[in-house]
């Protein structure tokens, strides 16, 4: 008997319709609140959660008009169109993704790094031509640009949800419960595409991730234009963020075996996550420093740089180890266990130490990105705090997926490797 192509999803994720509904409403609110709790200019030098002047303005009618401007919406659309244009015209290798349930394969155009370099070149040209004051638009129009990205993420979520009901679509195993709130959030269709243009991988690596870097550069220009100098803390934060984005796009093909691409549908979670959450919350440390320069000094800078290096080393070597192994290479002769599923599981090296060593490296880097902001406000530690929750939840989701994929072999692996992210803790 042939297996059904799109079986109904039996279990909810993210605490079902109530959890996914709440996250859908709360995440945009948090993104705006992180701005108003840490506004772009005030003289007492700290971000105060629920500080009066900022929140007092929320009630005024001019507040609602300040959320959206046609100009910023046009700039955002131009930005998005630029990333699509770059995808279309920059020559690139096409890489095959993992085999899909229907036995077919998708092919992906690998030119995200070239897009990053093109965008960086254009930004550098503008700064060289007009000085740092000539590239503060993104920093100075934060809220209307945030709103434009939110409109784009909602529009794409609705488009993909509605088009997922077209005959013959391959649905995500986790996004076909029949509950519209849950499935809209998780995403019904696994790989929504327009011809050879894959919407999910495009959004995950280009318009949001590269905009994060562009926002950081604009914020550094804002600091330079306002205070006449770039602080060591701003240089570290922008360099670390840029390094992370460059690394993601340099290793573009690795994304094709990750959970979001292989398992999750493209719904509001990834649309909003890619287009709004990443650029407008991941750049919070740089936005704080643009208006509150914090001087670290040589020893402080060196200590934070060492922490970033440690985090990156764990992140990159563990991801590379698994990716190499999944591509049939085992240069370090690592031990592994054969499974009934057919794929092998590493049981030595990083993946014999922790079940998600890459998450530990990523979290260490997240802390290194916040430390340059000092102790003026807890708000700039939002990213490591949120990220810890996200990765713990992601690890639990991945464990559940792996238990489904590997059955008892996964239990045997967990016996060998009992800790997930933090040695002897979790």
Ligand X SMILES: NC(=O)C1=CN([C@@H]2O[C@H](COP(=O)(O)OP(=O)(O)OC[C@H]3O[C@@H](n4cnc5c(N)ncnc54)[C@H](OP(=O)(O)O)[C@@H]3O)[C@@H](O)[C@H]2O)C=CC1
Ligand Y SMILES: CC(C)=CCC[C@@H](C)[C@H]1CC=C2C3=C(CC[C@@]21C)[C@@]1(C)CC[C@H](O)C(C)(C)[C@@H]1CC3
**How far, in Å, CA of 186 to CA of 259, rounded?**
12
Nearer Cβ to ligand X (46/251):
251
DSSP per-residue string spanning 82-120: HHHHHHHHS---EEE-PPPTTS---EEE--HHHHHHHHH
Residue 106: phi and psi, rounded to 5, are -105, 155
Q: Which stretch binds ligand X (CB under 6 A): 111-119, 129-137, 223-231, 352-360?
A: 352-360
**Closest distance to ligand X from the beta carbon of 248 (Å):** 8
Of 198, 204, 216, 232, which one interacts with ligand Y (CB under 6 A)? Answer: 204
Q: Shortest distance, CB of residue 225 to ligand Y, whole angstroms?
A: 29
DSSP state of 20: H
Task: Find which of ligand X, ligand Y, none residue 345 binds, CB within 5 to 8 Å per kind.
Answer: ligand X
Compose the 277-296 pattern: x for residues touching ligand Y by CB under 6 A, - for all others. xx------------------
Q: Is 136 in the site for ligand Y (CB under 6 A)?
A: no
| Residue 225 buriedness (CB in 10 A; 0-12 / 13-18 / 19+) | middle
Of the candidate spans 11-19, 36-44, 146-154, 353-361, the one that interacts with ligand X by CB under 6 A turns out to be: 353-361
Residue of minimal CB distance from ligand Y?
273
Separation of alpha carbons 366 and 308, rounded Å: 8
Which residue number, 76 or 272, has a Cβ lying nearer to ligand Y?
Answer: 272
Residue 187 or 372 having the CB closest to ligand Y: 187
Residue pair 395/356 in contact (Cβ under 8 Å)? The answer is: yes
Residues in 297-336 at the binding interface with ligand Y, rule: CB under 6 A:
none
**H/E stretch holding 197:** strand 197-198
CB 380 within 8 A of CB 46: no
CB distance 51 to 37 below 8 Å = yes
Contact indicator for 376, 292 with CB cutoff of 8 Å? yes
Contact between 216 and ligand Y by CB under 6 A: the answer reads no
Backbone torsions φ then ψ of 172, nearest 5 degrees: -75, 135
Residue 132 touches which of ligand Y, ligand X, none (Cβ within 5-8 Å per kind): none
Taking only Cα atoms into account, the Rg of the chain, rounded to an integer number of angstroms, comes to: 22
E strand or H helix that includes residue 234: helix 232-250
Instruction: Give the x/- contact pattern for ligand Y in 381-420, rule: CB under 6 A.
Output: ----------------------------------------
Assess 398 for contact with ligand X (CB under 6 A): yes
Residues that bind ligand X (CB under 6 A): 257-259, 315, 319, 322, 325-326, 343, 345-346, 351, 356, 358-359, 362, 394, 398, 401-402, 405
Residues that bind ligand Y (CB under 6 A): 23, 27, 204-205, 209, 248, 255, 258, 260, 269, 272-274, 277-278
């Amino acid at each position: 008997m042939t297996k059904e192509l799109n079986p109904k999803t039996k279990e909810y994720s993210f605490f079902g319709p109530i959890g996914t509904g709440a996250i859908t409403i709360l995440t945009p609110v948090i993104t705006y609140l992180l701005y108003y709790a840490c506004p772009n200019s005030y003289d007492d030098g700290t971000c105060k959660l629920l500080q009066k002047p900022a929140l007092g303005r929320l009630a005024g009618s001019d507040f609602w008009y300040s959320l959206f401007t046609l100009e910023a919406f046009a700039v955002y659309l131009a930005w998005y169109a630029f990333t699509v244009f770059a995808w279309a015209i920059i020559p690139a290798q096409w890489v095959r993704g993992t085999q899909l349930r229907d036995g077919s394969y998708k092919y992906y155009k690998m030119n995200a790094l070239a897009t990053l370099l093109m965008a960086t070149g254009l930004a550098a040209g503008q700064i060289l031509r007009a000085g740092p004051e000539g590239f503060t638009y993104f920093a100075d129009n934060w809220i209307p640009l945030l709103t434009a990205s939110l409109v784009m993420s909602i529009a794409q979520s609705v488009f993909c949800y509605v088009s997922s009901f077209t005959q013959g679509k391959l649905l995500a195993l986790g996004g076909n419960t029949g509950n519209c709130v849950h499935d809209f959030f998780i995403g019904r269709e696994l790989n929504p595409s327009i011809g050879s243009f894959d919407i999910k991988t495009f959004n995950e690596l280009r318009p949001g991730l590269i905009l994060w870097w562009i926002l950081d550069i604009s914020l550094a220009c804002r600091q330079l234009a306002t205070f006449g100098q770039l602080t060591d803390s701003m240089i570290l934060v922008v360099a670390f963020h840029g390094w992370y984005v460059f690394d993601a796009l340099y290793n573009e093909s690795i994304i094709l075996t990750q959970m979001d691409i292989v398992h999750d549908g493209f719904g509001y979670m990834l649309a909003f996550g890619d287009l709004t959450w990443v650029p407008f919350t991941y750049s919070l440390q740089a936005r704080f420093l643009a208006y509150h320069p914090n001087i670290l000094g040589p020893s402080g800078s060196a200590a934070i740089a060492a922490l970033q290096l440690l985090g990156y080393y764990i992140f990159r070597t563990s991801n590379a180890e698994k990716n190499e192994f999944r591509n049939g290479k085992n240069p370090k002769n690592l031990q592994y266990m054969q499974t009934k599923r057919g794929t092998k599981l590493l049981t030595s090296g990083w993946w014999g130490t922790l079940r998600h060593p890459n998450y530990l490296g990523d979290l260490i880097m997240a802390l290194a990105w916040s430390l340059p902001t000092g102790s003026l406000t807890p708000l700039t530690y939002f990213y490591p705090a949120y990220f810890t929750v996200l990765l713990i939840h992601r690890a639990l989701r991945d464990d559940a997926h792996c238990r489904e994929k590997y059955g008892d072999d996964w239990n045997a692996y967990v016996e060998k490797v009992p800790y997930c992210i933090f040695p002897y803790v979790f």
